[in-house]
Amino acid sequence: MEVWISILISVCAAATPLLIAATGELVVERSGVLNLGVEGMMIIGAVTAFSTAQVTGNPYLGALVAIIVASAFSLIFAFMTLTLVTNQVATGLALTILGLGLSGMIGQGFVGAPGIKMEALSIPLLSDLPVIGTLLFGQDLIFYASWALVFGVWWFLFKSKTGLKLRSVGDNHASAHALGLNVIGIRYCAVLFGGACAGLAGAHLSLVYVPQWVEGMTAGRGWIALALVVFASWRPGRLLIGAYLFGAVTIGQFHVQAQGLQIPAQFLASLPYLATIIVLVLIARNRRLTMINTPASLGKSFVPDR
């Protein structure tokens, strides 16, 4: 039992950064913008969180700085694609390349430094419950935040008026504009929110999951988060399933290795990536599901006519 609980806790740790980054990107895509820079924003979050925690000794401050800096970083993307109407795919890639380069430069002095781990925040009484106690109530703050974020985003998108406006901008920007909505303004806000989420996801990597700075430590997680949004067909609730499924694949891979099975480590390490491809194929085959939920203006630039 103890073993299973510790495995489940590590699944949560692997799923949390994916969930947070994907939730942010889901809001961005719902507003009609495709930001492929998640990987870059995430690693900027990871490096700023780690370095801030090193300098100040406070991991919470680290996470806060990561959110702010990654959000500011996403502003470059927003200005380029929304104000200068550059190609969203290419600009997102540029953001990822720049983020990977900058993070390497910032983090160079911190390679090998012992990390400062964000300790678990056990909720009194509840965390003493048998079995589910530590699993649900004995985790770090970012874990709780990730669940709150998913429910918050679900409520915002589908129950609030502003959320409805954001979705209508993503579905048909020309009509939304004609109705007097500020298409560009709403999209700016969405992109900044996505940046903030990616920053927090990165902070989780370097403060909780690995507690270290390793160059390129996001290792494609930003891209998997993008795939999760497609998997979830732009519904926040389904992100939970997807993220925890991928968390389980990632952790399962380590446990198979530990069992001493004669499978090369590299094959197991490529499982999450292969799983992503398979999931993308399965989802894409269901055209009706994809058609209903895909924001119709996704990836298209908008220039307001006057």
Nearer to other proteins, 158 or 267 (CB): 267
- Rounded CA-CA distance 118/212 in Å is 12
Distance in angstroms (rounded) separating the CA atoms of residues 126 and 117: 23
What span, in angstroms and rounded, lies between the C-alpha atoms of 80 and 82? 6
| Shortest CB 239 distance to other proteins, Å | 16
For residue 244, what is the enclosing H or E element?
helix 236-258
The nearer residue to other proteins, 23 or 134, going by C-beta atoms, is 23
Among 105, 126, 131, 148, binds other proteins (CB under 8 A): 105
Query: Given the rule CB under 8 A, which of 3-11, 45-53, 128-136, 270-278 is the region that contacts other proteins?
Result: 270-278
Q: Is the CA virtual torsion 206, 155, 235, 170 positive or negative? A: negative
Q: Of the ranges 50-58, 110-118, 234-242, 264-272, which one interacts with other proteins (CB under 8 A)? A: 264-272
Does 230 help bind other proteins (rule: CB under 8 A)? yes
Closest CA to 184 of 41, 292, 294, 80: 80
Q: Least distance to other proteins from the beta carbon of 303, Å?
A: 6
Task: Indicate whether 227 belongs to the interface with other proteins (CB under 8 A).
Answer: yes
Shortest distance, position 183 Cβ to other proteins, whole Å: 14
Q: Does 102 bind other proteins (CB under 8 A)?
A: yes
Tokens of 251: 């952790």
Q: Does 296 bind other proteins (CB under 8 A)?
A: no
Give the shortest CB-82-to-other proteins separation in angstroms.
Answer: 10
Q: Pick between residue 89 and residue 132 the one whose CB is nearest to other proteins.
A: 89
Q: Which amino acid does the sequence have at 7?
A: I
User: What span, in angstroms and rounded, lies between the C-alpha atoms of 172 and 170?
Assistant: 6
173 vs 31: CA distance, rounded Å: 9
3-state secondary structure 160-224: CHHHHHHHHHHHCHHHHHHCCCCHHHHHHHHHHHHHHHHHHHHHHHHHHHCCCCCCCCCCCHHHH
> The tokens 């220039």 sit on which residue?
303
SS3 of the chain: helix, strand, coil, percent, to 5: 75, 0, 25
| Lookup: tokens for 239 | 């992100």
Enumerate residues 22-41 that contact other proteins by CB under 8 A. 36
Near other proteins by CB under 8 A: residue from 83, 160, 162, 175: 83
User: Which of residues 144, 147, 254, 273 is near other proteins by CB under 8 A?
Assistant: 273
Cβ-contact 195, 71 below 8 angstroms: yes
Shortest CB 139 distance to other proteins, Å: 28
- List binders of other proteins among 106-135 (CB under 8 A): 108
Total residues binding other proteins (CB under 8 A): 45
Binding residue (CB under 8 A) for other proteins from 111, 126, 131, 277: 277
Q: Is 287 near other proteins (CB under 8 A)? A: yes
Q: Which residues of this chain interact with other proteins, rule CB under 8 A?
A: 36, 76, 80, 83-87, 89-91, 93-95, 97-102, 104-105, 108, 219-220, 223, 226-227, 230, 264, 266-267, 269-270, 273-274, 276-277, 280-281, 284-285, 287, 290, 303
